[in-house]
Structure 1
Amino acid sequence: MVENFIDNIIKNNKVFVIEFKDEIAISQSLLFKDDAGNPVNVVCFWSNRQTAAKCCIDDWQNYKPQEICIATFIEDYLVNVYNESFIAGLDFNEKMEGIEADPLDLILELVKSLKKNKINLEFEYFKNLTDLENQIQKLL
């Protein structure tokens, strides 16, 4: 569930991707298709290193888990996932099953949870959580 992913990353202040030579793990959506009927790309993120490491098999056998902070996750990853018209994949297992989420919806859920927990983040491109939330709302 999205809530579990958010709770875990807030608790640990960490998100994980798996990378190889600056390439991040990308899968194909089982739920979303583009206008041509092709599966949408899914950029995968994990809430803990162990689950991410279990996915370093097959096509991703040379990939390694990399830790990123929540602010970087939002600004440098989720915003780009949205800009590329991709989907965010959350806590996929080694069978590539997991949650597929719209990146903007995920950002808004994350902002709501951060505010509820009275956690402020320092951003490079946004003044604060409210500014981020307002900017995302304009895109919806």
Structure 2
Amino acid sequence: MLQNHITVKNRHKKFIKTICETEIVYGLKNKKGFATSSSVHYDDENGEPAGMICFWAEKARAKSCIKDGWKKYQVTEIRLSEFMENWCIGMENDGLLIGTQFDQNMFGFEAEPLELILDLSSELNSLGKELDLKKFDGIADLEKQVKASIE
């Protein structure tokens, strides 16, 4: 079990690095929406497993999960800037988690959306990258507002 946890955590770290380099995030989408799962670590306010939308850093990994309950889904691209300022913030507001790098056995990392924004901001800063954000005055502004809302 510990080995699985380490593997999942390492895949999450690679997810952060990869999407900051490529500025693309992949999701699985069908006519009804995006591929979702339920948390095994977090509960919602009703004591039920928290909802989660899953994302990947590589198109091939996302495609490999198109099976069973997700067999009618297709891989879709999301720009990193849109993912950070629309998806992450929207999912936080909706009480959803972000699942990263799930594999065919449905093992993946469960991230709090605002924590993920901070991790992505840190990685983008280390790469010296700035994103073209529409709702914030750059990564530093987004990061500052996220930190303020967490406190």
TM above 0.5, yes or no, is yes
Deviation (angstroms), 1:36: 2.2
Report 1:79-98 matches (<5 A): 79-98=89-108
**CA distance 1:118–1:22, change in 2 (3 Å):** farther
Deviation (angstroms), 1:99: 0.3
2:16 counterpart of 1:6 = yes
Report 1:39-118 matches (<5 A): 39-118=49-128
Separation in structure 2 between the aligned mates of residue 137 and residue 10 of structure 1, nearest angstrom: 20
**Deviations 1:23-72 (CA, angstroms, capped at 9, x unpaired):** 01110001101232200001101010011011111111110010111101
Deviation (angstroms), 1:13: 1.8
- What corresponds to 2:4 in structure 1? none
- Helix, strand or coil: the match of 2:83? helix
Q: Which letter does structure 1 place at the counterpart of 2:15?
A: F
Gaps in structure 1 of 5+ consecutive residues? none
2:27 counterpart of 1:27 = no
Deviation (angstroms), 1:22: 5.5
Taking only aligned residues, the RMSD between alpha carbons, in angstroms, comes to: 1.0
Q: Which letter does structure 1 place at the counterpart of 2:39?
A: S
**With structure 2 as the length reference, what TM-score do the two structures score?**
0.89
Deviation (angstroms), 1:75: 1.4
Q: Of Structure 1 and Structure 2, which has the larger fraction of its residues in helix?
A: 2
**Deviations 1:76-123 (CA, angstroms, capped at 9, x unpaired):** 211111011111100001121100011100000100110111000011
Contact 2:23–2:81 (CA under 8 A) maintained in structure 1: no
2:151 counterpart of 1:135 = no
**With structure 1 as the length reference, what TM-score do the two structures score?**
0.96
Q: Which letter does structure 1 place at the counterpart of 2:53?
A: V
Aligned residues, how many? 140
**CA distance 1:120–1:22, change in 2 (3 Å):** farther
Runs of 4+ residues over 3 Å off in structure 1:
none
Percent identity (aligned): 31
